[in-house]
Structure 1
Amino acid sequence: MNPSVEQVHGAVQTLTQSSDTLFLLLGAIMVFLMHAGFAFLEVGTVRHKNQVNALVKILADFGVSAIAYFFIGYWVAYGGTFFADAETLSSGNGYELVKFFFLLTFAAAIPAIVSGGIAERARFYPILLATFFTVGLVYPLFEGMIWNGNFGLQAWLEATFGAGFHDFAGSVVVHGVGGWIALVAVIFLGMRRGRVRAGKHTNFAPSNIPFLALGAWILSVGWFGFNVMSAQTLEGISGLVAMNSLMAMVGGILAALFVGKNDPGFIHNGPLAGLVAVCAGSDLMHPIGALITGSVAGALFVWVFTYLQNKTKIDDVLGVWPLHGLCGAWGGVAAGIFGQTALGGLGGVSFAAQVVGTIIGIAVALIGAAIVYGVLDKITGLRLSEEDEFKGADLAIHKISATNED
């Protein structure tokens, strides 16, 4: 007996749903693994007395992010909730549940980004409260505007400029927003004690270059899940996204190598700068455009981070504002440049819309962060005491050091 057309169609549909679910689950796992990269990048950069705190912060932030996004953030961004029975939630092979997991790993990148900027002098629980509100409200507000069409922003941009704001994998939505939130947090916390001596800036050397490098490698590998699997279905997967991610990464490496004068910290952050910048237009650009985008980002990171550390009171420990905030903003604009057909891109993008959308993302991040960190600073305080900062966050907060030297 031959199967009916309906049976064949149903079998194909089930197979497609299962494949898409598995595809997105693998993407979610890859991006989740990137949080280990954030952790080790911070561990290798901070001083020994703050290494345990760096590890604990990233994991604790992820836990708080999951609760905030599950109960509030996902509803703010997409109008979806999980207040239904398990049978209903798991329909379609549970694709929507895996999609939530994937998007959660993006949302949780916000506090992971912030963590690197505020390292070595932030109190523990007030920062976890800030994580709850930034992931539950601030980030999903802009996420929903761009990726779900909330508040009519995309419709307005399309009507005004001929195209909406294009951000395929989150140069602005994730990295830009996270970086500009971090800038506000860094300003509220102020400089680490001992950074200015006799009127001159003193830079603390990274504590462990191999850990720093390990973090950069984990992030770079996971980023291909971050970018490529943003298609969210097997049908939408694009080799162009993978190629552009590769070329932007290479551009960032080489630019940081030469502009950073062989400094290992800059070299290992170079690929991350390039990958941040290419997220937005990775599905549109020609690979040469991606190479240029990544190269500009790598150089931009080195120049701005060097200036901040030596000339200003903005004490951004890992350089997360130049890396994610500025390079993310550059990526939003770059999509409007190198996505044009005249420069070998696929088109369908407006330079003006990219600039306006990027500015709106920055504004949401700055205003939201100012409210969250400003209120918490007034109510609980954000900074460790002078004694605890001198002792180090490991002993002051967690009562244990990274290594047993006895």
Structure 2
Amino acid sequence: MSCKISKSALINGLILAAVIILLLALPAWAGDPTGTATGSAADIPAAQAGTPTLEELATAAGKLKIGLNFVWTLLAGFLVFFMQAGFALVETGFTRAKNAAHTMAMNLMVFLVGAVGFFVLGFGLMFGGLGAVANLGGTPPLTHELTAGGWGLLGLKGFFLSGDAYDVGVFALFLFQMVFMDTAVTIPTGAMAERVKFSAIVLGSFFIAMFLYPIFGNWVWGGGWLAQLGAKLGLGHGAVDFAGSGVVHSIGGAAGLAGALILGPRLGKYRNGKPAAIPGHDIPMAVLGTIILFFGWFGFNPGSTLSGSDLRIAVVAVNTMMAGAVGGLTSMLYTWWRQGKPDPSMMCNGVLAGLVAITAPSAFVNGPVACLIGAVAGILVVWSVYFFDHILKIDDPVGAISVHLVNGLWGLLAVGLFADGTYGAGWNGVGADSYLGVAGQGVTGLFYGDPGQLVAQLINMAVAFAWGFGASYVFYKVLDKIIGIRVTPEAEEQGLDIPEMGALAYPDFMLTFGDTYSTEAISTGQPAYDKRRREVAVHN
């Protein structure tokens, strides 16, 4: 039996439903559509509900401010964490298809290893003697610093986030700083890609997360000796690095340089002393990764205020945006002029170079100067890639050394030159004095009247390179002697996905190679080629 509804009955039913809905909507039954009645004195905890005292109002206002800072800091940390996806896409896109699973896996693994290492030891070494972080409610447990003659060397509190470090302010600081550490740990994977053992990156990540990064981080951000150059020696505000051009990027880039130098170039990279291009397999993937990194940088730099109530966030965000944009633009135009084509890979590295360079000075400079810093970075990264590739013959598959080490140092220098004194009063305990309500002096560079700040920044740059490269070189050299950090020539020729990971990134495709290495190349690991190597993806 079937039931048919006539067309007229259906129309009448719809009209009736519409009338009913209209009748229900006409009365003003809404609760509080404008929000004017939502949030009142009744929402403030008080001994007598609805009539809070002045002290209770002040307490509620303080909690609201710190709560806003917590939310902003954690949200910024989540944005920085998402940068891991950007790094994975950039590095994988710039390398070959036969190593895609290996490169992606490294970028995931370094976060897992880094988080554990920083939780166990790194955070305590870096921030154990920091003292109060007013924006996060004080963090009172972090007050134990190893010193020598009054100069801070290492933190001694907060390991495993245990004991009285079980504190909401400490936990908020840990999450934000942990994702910064993860950026530093990720950088060497790009410089060492396509010929490094997965196990070497695992051990190297523990080393960076537990020792290399936090020790230098303590010296700059944890109240250590570089931060004290201003208070103790009168050198400006001491070493100033707002969001990590030096602490994060230069240290990670220096570790990548040490690893790439010990590994040596990829097979086939140099023939008769001249570098041969080894194109990445997926430029669109790398471009997408660059856009994700750009997005995440709005957590990286503005988030470093650790305060949703610090209105300087607007300046930091715009400076970050403009330096990244101008860096990519100048890199594109310069490459277009020199080579006749706007190389998309160099455009990506120009964007990242501008973002790295503005990371240290982003809070201390004005908009035009931010554009200048980005423009210099865009040209500098092109020159640097050529210098490492052609002059020093150090093989860096993704340009990580040029982007992060070189432009990280440029960012530190830019603070010493261009900081305009409008922000940073009290930074590292300097310039906080005021008289009759007039704010103290902010961070000021050479061109605005303080040569001492430039001296502090030059010391910061020298120490960042010496520590980052020197300690990493020793570590990777020792590790190479113990386990060997480079894969066999056969594994490198085949691609690292199967030999190292046991899984192909693209199992539906077969990678074939038109040219092979000579017997001498396989036995010695030298790039002796019979003719130019080709890599072709052929569908099964």
TM range (shorter): over 0.9
SS in 1 for 2:228: helix
1:16 counterpart (65, 68, 89)? 65
Which residue matches 2:330?
255
> CA 1:83/1:331 → structure 2, altered by over 3 Å: closer, same or farther?
closer
Higher mean C-alpha displacement, 226-235 vs 302-311:
302-311
Q: Which residue of 2 aligns with 1:202?
A: 276
User: By how many angstroms is 1:199 displaced?
Assistant: 4.2
The reply to whether residue 35 of structure 1 matches residue 84 of structure 2 is yes
RMSD: 1.9
Letter in 2 for 1:67: V
**1:275 matched residue in structure 2:** 355
Deviations 1:23-53, CA, capped at 9 Å, x for gaps: 1111110000001100000110000001111
Q: What is the match of residue 46 of structure 1?
A: 95
Q: Which residue of 2 aligns with 1:176?
A: 250
The counterpart of 1:98, out of the listed 169, 172, 176, is 172
The partner residue of 1:290 within 370, 377, 386 is: 370
1:129-148, aligned counterparts within 5 Å?
Answer: 129-148=203-222
The aligned residue for residue 81 of structure 1 is 158
| Alpha-carbon distance in 2 for matches of 1:373, 1:257 | 35
Aligned to 1:348: 444
Moved more, 96-105 or 33-42: 96-105
**Equivalent in the alignment of 2:401:** 321
- CA distance in 2 between partners of 1:85 and 1:361 (Å): 30
Q: Is the 8 A contact 2:229 2:237 kept in 1?
A: no
- Name the SS of the counterpart of 2:227 in structure 1: helix
The aligned counterpart of 2:481 is 378
Q: For 2:375, what is the secondary structure of its paired residue?
A: helix
Amino acid corresponding to residue 314 of structure 1 in structure 2: I
Report whether the alignment pairs 1:367 with 2:470: yes
User: Amino acid of the residue matched to residue 220 of structure 1?
Assistant: F
Gap change, CA 1:85 and 1:123, over 3 Å in 2: closer
Instruction: Give the superposition deviation at 1:340.
Output: 3.7
Task: Tell which deviates more after alignment, 101-110 or 11-20.
Answer: 11-20
Cα distance between partner residues in 1 of 2:491 and 2:78: 36
TM (normalized to structure 2)? 0.71
Q: Which has the higher contact order (CA 8 A, sep 6+)?
A: 1
Give the whole-Å Cα distance in 1 for the aligned partners of 2:303 and 2:226. 25
Amino acid at match of 1:179: G
- 1:173 Cα offset (Å): 0.9
What letter corresponds to residue 308 of structure 1 in structure 2?
F
Give the SS at the match of 2:277. coil
- Residue number in structure 1 paired with 2:389: 309
Distance 1:329 1:83 in 2: 32
Cα shift at 1:198: 4.3
Letter in 2 for 1:48: A
TM alignment of 1:383-402, pairs within 5 A:
383-402=486-505
In 2, are the aligned partners of 1:285 and 1:346 still within 8 Å (CA)?
no
Q: C-alpha separation between the residues in 1 aligned to 2:162 and 2:215?
A: 27
* Larger Rg belongs to: 2
- What SS does the aligned partner of 2:484 have? coil
Amino acid at match of 1:383: R
Return the offset for 1:85.
6.5
Task: String of CA shifts for 1:209-237, please: whole Å, max 9, x gaps.
Answer: 11010110000110011000100112234
Q: Which residue of 2 aligns with 1:155?
A: 228
Once the two structures are TM-superposed, the CA of residue 108 in structure 1 deviates from its matched residue by 1.1
8 Å CA contact 2:158–2:165 kept in 1: the answer is no
| TM-score, normalization by structure 1 | 0.94
Q: Structure 1 residues 322 and 208, CA, compared in 2 at 3 Å: closer, same or farther? A: same
Alpha carbons of structure 1 residues 141 and 82: separation in structure 2 relative to 1, 3 Å? closer
Displaced runs of 4 or more, over 6 A? none
Q: Decide which moves more: 186-195 or 230-239.
A: 230-239
State the 1:336 CA deviation: 1.1
Secondary structure of the equivalent of 2:204? helix
Q: In 1, Cα distance between the equivalents of 2:295 and 2:184?
A: 19
Number of residue pairs matched?
A: 400
CA contact 1:17–1:95 (8 Å) conserved in 2: no
Is 1:337–1:351's contact at 8 Å kept on the other side of the alignment? Answer: yes
1:397 Cα offset (Å): 1.0
